[in-house]
Amino acid sequence: MTDTVVQSEIEQVEQDVVDFKMVTFSLGGKDYGIDIMRVKEIAKFIEFTYVPNTAHYVRGVYNLRGDIISVVDLRAFFNIPAEKTEEGRPDNGLILRFESNLLGVIVDSIDKVVGISSKRVQPPHPIFGDINIKYISGVADYDGNLYIILDVDRIFRRDDESGKGPDTMARRRVERAEVTASDVPVTQREQTDGSDGIEGSVEETALTFIADGVQTFSDFYLTSINHRWFTGRVKEWLNRRLEQGKEYQLQEKADADAFLSPFLSRFTGTLWRDQYAEQFGRNLPATESTMYNVWNPGCGSGQESYSIAAILKRRFPNRQIKIWAGDKDLLPISSAPNLVFHEAEIPDGWEDFMVKGKNGLTFHSEIKEMILFEFSDILSVSALPKMDIIVARDILSFQRKEDQERIIERFDEVLKPGGILVVGDNEEISDSKTWKPVEAHPVKMYIHR
């Protein structure tokens, strides 16, 4: 009898050694705790800046004495119903710290700092939480209350670290595939729900900030057309910047341009060659008519248009080919009709299309006459005849979302059935009912049904 009494007394003493402190708070009527080492400060969030296109649990961003931090509503994240805060009344929350990042979280109310012995923390059992068990590091009772201790690291960990669960990655892959394969209108974006983990929210916040940055500085608009490339690039970018010890934010145009530099299609600004030119030529629609019409919006300084002309001339030497090439950037398009080349720039087999002048080589008038270079905006509605081919590389991504849709509709109207649409290497059209992908790698080609 004496042994057990002594034993329980010893246990009591052990349990009283405080080696774990947590900040406690309530969420949906239940008590939670977060390791104080992870809490930078307690906060009352007064004014947020709402950030569009983020998950429902991301409330926005907040200016914490100069640092811009994102703020997540834990109630929304865990899908716990919460009372709406009155207008003007601040939300209660914590500023959490992990690695070099800060994150704000909103809770119902902050309680107090509680010190317990880590031995008191028991492993989580699903019965204890309304929330996904992987975010619970344990439960502890204290002073008659049961506290669910959140594993902040797990919650905020990024994709590139080992902590990401295999099931979540699989889910992401499936969602992405669904978005691109289905008839998703351009405006819809990939949805992630809270159970995916806030480990996605850092990346998601980064994605939002970067998307805003490229839009502001470079007129690049993130939509389903470039989403796949964009998300891949964001991951790459975050890693690179982390390695360099730099912020991932795009502070100025140079950053945005650096981010976008791998986006542009191959042979932008130069004549097409090799596999690309070959595959383009091989997959051209064969028509019966003598007229062959091509629309080439966003032709820039014109090398693309000359390439199309040369390839078509080779393939259809006896057809009457006409190319409507336009761009709304005046400087490059105005030099297009008189573009001069150096011998080394001319792909093999095109030498006989060239004429020597005093400044260098230019295309023979036979080729030049095929192309109508126009200073024009793709958005203006002007009468165009039906086209056999549309080459619109890297132009859709630089149009506003609504305009992208309108332009694709216009392509649908203007391109003959069976006609070919070529878009940028990193772009894709998700409407598979209208646009069937053509196996013409490296050319991004679709056939108009």
Partner 1 sequence: MRVEYINPFVESAYSILSEVLQTEVHRGELYLKSAAMPMLGVAAIVGLAGDVEGRVLFDMKLETAIAVASGMLTNMDMEPVTTFNDMARATITELANMITGQAVTKLHNLGFKFDLTPPAIFKGDNMEISDPDFEALIVPMEIPMGKIEVNVAIRERA
Positions that interact with partner 1 (CB under 8 A): 328, 330, 333-334, 336-337, 372-377, 379-383, 385
For residues 355, 358, 361, 364, the Cα torsion angle rounded to the nearest 10 degrees is: -30
Rounded Cα gap, residues 37 and 98, in angstroms: 9
CA quadruple 124, 125, 126, 129: dihedral positive or negative? negative
Please, what is the minimum distance in Å from the beta carbon of residue 176 to partner 1? 37
DSSP per residue over 106-173, as a string? EESEEEEEEEE-GGGPBPP-GGG-SS-GGGEEEEEEETTEEEEEE-HHHHH--TTSTT--HHHHHHHH
CB-wise, 120 or 322, nearer to partner 1? 322
**Chain position carrying tokens 């710290």:** 97
CB-wise, 236 or 377, nearer to partner 1? 377
Please, what is the minimum distance in Å from the beta carbon of residue 414 to partner 1? 14
Rounded Cα gap, residues 57 and 59, in angstroms: 6
> Residue 409: CB partners within 8 Å, gap ≥ 6?
none
Please, what is the minimum distance in Å from the beta carbon of residue 360 to partner 1? 19
Please, what is the minimum distance in Å from the beta carbon of residue 328 to partner 1? 6
CB-wise, 407 or 447, nearer to partner 1? 407
Backbone angles phi, psi at 257, to 5 degrees: -65, -40
CB-wise, 12 or 380, nearer to partner 1? 380
Rounded Cα gap, residues 380 and 121, in angstroms: 67
Please, what is the minimum distance in Å from the beta carbon of residue 392 to partner 1? 17
Please, what is the minimum distance in Å from the beta carbon of residue 368 to partner 1? 11
CB-wise, 223 or 399, nearer to partner 1? 399
CB-wise, 5 or 330, nearer to partner 1? 330
